[in-house]
Amino acid sequence: MGKFFQRCQEDFQCDRCGAMARGSGYTNHCPQCLWSRHVDINPGDRAASCGGLMEPIAIEMKKGNYVILHQCTRCGWQRRNKTAIDDNFEAILAVARS
């Protein structure tokens, strides 16, 4: 059985909006549009074969922090992810309003 979390520091270009994202090892979504990719089974393992885009479908609060609920547009799989300090707050509010 693999680790539950593996830090994976990668920079990437968003497949949704084209923005460049600097990875911190904990970055798992675009800081501009909040979309992600279904590449992990457990955070950082890159073991998912789906590769679908993960749409931010809801914003939740957990211990005073915003959490994004992502859903894969290809297979429907869902994952919650913490927001980051450099995330576009207007995008967070837009998802929260939807």
Residues 12, 3, 73, 91, Cα dihedral to 10°: -50
75 falls within a domain: yes
Asked whether residue 2 is assigned to any structural domain, the reply reads: no
**Cα–Cα nearest to 66, from 29, 39, 40, 37:** 29
State the residue for tokens 């830090």: 7
Does 50 fall in a domain? yes
Q: Is 37 within the bounds of a domain?
A: yes
**Percent helix, percent strand, percent coil in the chain, to nearest 5:** 10, 30, 60
pTM (2 decimals)? 0.86
The identity of residue 46, as a single letter, is R
Count structural domains, the chain. 1
User: Which pLDDT does position 87 carry in this prediction?
Assistant: 96
Task: Tell me, yes or no, whether 34 lies in a domain.
Answer: yes
User: What is the extent of the structural domain holding 62?
Assistant: 12-97
pLDDT along the chain (98 residues), means of 10: 68 93 82 94 84 97 95 96 94 96
